[in-house]
Amino acid sequence: MRWLASPANPYFFPGPVGGPGSPHFPFPGVFDLANRLLTDPDPGILEVVRRAPLDGGLACESIDP
């Protein structure tokens, strides 16, 4: 788990909404936000989701920086 959110992971993208991505997109993945909502008590994560602009009301595959 620590490796996922570390510089050792080539698909980890730091930043205000940093997180793991994948080889398919060069940004943190929305799937990571969903996982963090379920496992991380940090209320800032829910706020990120609340403020996120959606694409036609839907969450995209990755977070647009």
In the numeric block, the tokens 């799937």 are attached to 31
In this prediction the pTM is 0.65
Number of H helices, E strands in the chain: 2, 2
Amino acid at 12: F
Q: What are 7-61's pLDDT values in tens digits?
A: 899 999 887 778 888 888 888 888 888 888 898 888 888 888 888 777 887 878 8
Domain ranges of the chain: 1-65
